[in-house]
Structure 1
Amino acid sequence: MMTRLAALLLIILCFFLLPDRFIEPPPIANSWLTTGDEQHLLEKQQAKLFQDDKQDKPTIYIDKDETYQQMEGFGAAMTGSSAYLLEHKLTTQERDTLFQDLFTDSGIQLSYLRHTIGASDYSVDDTGNPSSYTYADQQGTPEDPLQHFSIAPDQTVMNMLKQAKISNPELQLMGTPWTAPPWLKYGEPTYNGSYLNYTDQRTYEIYADYFIQYLKAYQEEGLPVDMLSVQNEPQFETAAYPSMSMGATEQQYFIQHFLGPAIQDADLETAILAYDHNWENSKDYAETVLNGVSDYTAGTAYHCYAGNPEDAEEIHQLHPDKGIYFTECSGGAWSENFGDNLSWLMDQVIIGTTRNWAKTVLLWNLALDETGGPTNGGCTNCRGVVTIDSQTSSIKKNVEYYALGHISKFVQPGAKRISSTQLPQIATVAFYDASKGETILLAANSGNSSQTFQLSEGKHYLQYTLPPQSAITFTWKDAA
């Protein structure tokens, strides 16, 4: 009996005297690297074990207890041009393979797609020619102004959205109009430019119903729309392609008295976003709308073409209960160096937006051809996430594919951003996925020389040297 008791006491004593590392084993970090010289493209690296010894190196500290926004998804826009190329320039097998690369966990697992409500500067017909349209180009009777409403012109877009949802059934959708039906605008009917006919109050009632019919029609197609912005780039209009201006006071009025109540009365769950334009000069517009329609809006949306992601921080401070959403950015022939583009995308878009409260990161065209088209009057040298050669059907994954992949492949909707320290030469953002018990850290070195640092996970450390103009994503599980 005494021997058994002595053995038990010895086990208990050893348990309390054992070093912490035997009680809580160090985690193993997996990592994926993309380098500016394109020698590594979202390439999985050898797994590394966190160590107990702390080095005299710049340190990135992670704090899972300090949480910020919950992420909703990452992706791009299924424009008419993108859908045309995907449906008409690829074989079924080529398209299926590409969709695996885009939407499943064997690829970069995009979780959000934006599409245009009616035509945009990237809308074409089934032959690839420019096509401007809305869902109600022809005005109906006074009793039924929208009697000719139809989403049929979106058939190719809907086909590709459905295919994407087959690849990722959890895929979410956002809709954005570039223009209202021309007959709802002031003055001569036009797709390109102008603004709603504010002199007739029924204009707003009809336009709200237009949105409701669109939401219901897409839902009937098996494409429920999760998020809706009221107007793309409302502070800009042009005669070159479908567009429309909408001032902040008008947008607030439309949401407050027409669109918000209409969505609520229709028992739809689609969230409304305000603004949907550049970071620059966004504060007054966003504040005007949010102050007036807080009950009906989920937040505000932003583009990258002017200003910087820190501008959205002001709006978050004014309305911390409202979401920040990043919804558009495009690369193009004006900047073709892979390393420069990767660094800019990491600093400004992937890391910059999420560190400034963005719940989504969406780029512009999912796919364009070798000429940056086909277009409908817009940018003539933009670049898609992928390039589909219209002559050979070859597919090129652009820098945007890898930049998105560094976050979309690893940070699933529902994960929360957590605290991570920034270093002078290393930009970081971190997330924690409670459903997996997993921490994700994205780090980017935009400089021209390698940078050595160490990660801190509790009492454990991992040292790494990141090449110049490169990005790496680390993931590790909680200790068992």
Structure 2
Amino acid sequence: MTQISSPAPAPAISVWLTSADRSRLFECTENAAFFQTGAGVGPAITLDPAQTRQTMEGFGFSLTGGSAMLISRLPTDVKQNLLNELFLADADGIGVSFLRLSIGASDLSECSYSYDDLPAGQTDFELANFDLDAGDREVVPLLLEILALNPAIKIIATPWSAPRWMKTNQGSVGGKLRPECYAVYAQYFVKYLLAMRERGIAVHAITPQNEPQNFKNDPSMVMDAAEQAEFVKTYLGPALVEAGLAEVEILCWDHNCDVKEYPLAVFADTGARNYLRGSAWHLYGGDISVLSEMHAAIPT
């Protein structure tokens, strides 16, 4: 007797869907997705192992002052389970491998602050009042717990604004960096990086300014391309080298995909480009394909 076996059923996966219009938010779909052989109806993705481009260093998100505060206030067991799920790569963990921090306050902090705030009219060119604990006090302790789980996580940090006394409008919203404060602002970065190292936290990369064309956030600061190139070339880059922090990568831009002219202008300054490792991008505007355009234009 000949036994005829039925073909094995195709493996199925559950699909959890979030739609762009927010009509569905992480909902399990009714129909499972199946892997099948044969031609598909969607666009083809061709993998060519012989052609390489950028290298992925990690995936993650911002650890803001607000999120650090909320996580830190969870019951101990709930918080530990959440950290395990986010930062461990085994069991049910997703293995987050990259974190973004704000240098000073972000617009998701409990209040607007810098690490060297002073009463109106005062200055501190020696940075004698620099204080890493000036605000968002939950970030560093929580980050140490995260690093204990996954010490290989890479960290990128960026400021939303310089201290108010360094700015043209003396305020936390908008304004520019005063030319006479370029040097002390570079030292402000150095102070931050060294203070974090003293706490056991190595920052992998920085950007000179979060969203340098955004003048509305609280805090925020405007920095045009020529100003950023000058700051990197003459002040920030040399300051990191002199402080023994040359391995900390500097990425320019750090704003949307619709203004590629800005990073191209910064890279056009060869003095600035000598200190830059790349460019950083947001996706609130423009198309992500600009990253490939940038890599093609400046592959180094």
TM-score tier, shorter chain, comes to 0.7 to 0.9
Correspondence list, 1:17-416, <5 A: 34-36=15-17, 38-39=27-28, 55=38, 61-88=46-73, 90-105=74-89, 106-124=92-110, 131-138=111-118, 145-152=126-133, 153-187=135-169, 189-198=170-179, 200=180, 203-238=181-216, 241-268=218-245, 269-281=247-259, 283-292=260-269, 293-321=272-300
- Tell whether the 8 Å contact from 2:104 to 2:114 is kept in structure 1 after alignment: yes
State the distance in 2 between where 1:197 and 1:39 align.
52
Structure of higher CA gyration radius: 1
State the distance in 1 between where 2:15 and 2:93 align.
15
Amino acid aligned to 1:310: S
Say what the alpha-carbon RMSD is for the aligned residues.
2.7
Structure 1 unaligned runs (5+)? Answer: 1-29, 125-130, 322-480
Structure 2 unaligned runs (5+)? Answer: 1-10, 18-23
TM-score (norm 2): 0.83
Q: CA deviation at 1:114?
A: 0.5
Q: 1:94 to 1:317 in 2, by over 3 A?
A: same
State the distance in 2 between where 1:83 and 1:96 align.
13
Q: When you count strand as a share of all residues, which structure comes out higher?
A: 1
State the distance in 1 between where 2:123 and 2:284 align.
41
Q: Which has the higher contact order (CA 8 A, sep 6+)?
A: 1
SS at match of 1:212: helix
Structure 1's consecutive aligned runs of 4 or more residues displaced over 6 angstroms after TM superposition are: 139-143
Q: 1:151 to 1:56 in 2, by over 3 A?
A: closer
Percent identical residues: 37
Correspondence list, 1:414-433, <5 A: none
- Tell whether the 8 Å contact from 1:276 to 1:300 is kept in structure 2 after alignment: yes
Amino acid aligned to 2:113: Y
TM-score (norm 1): 0.53
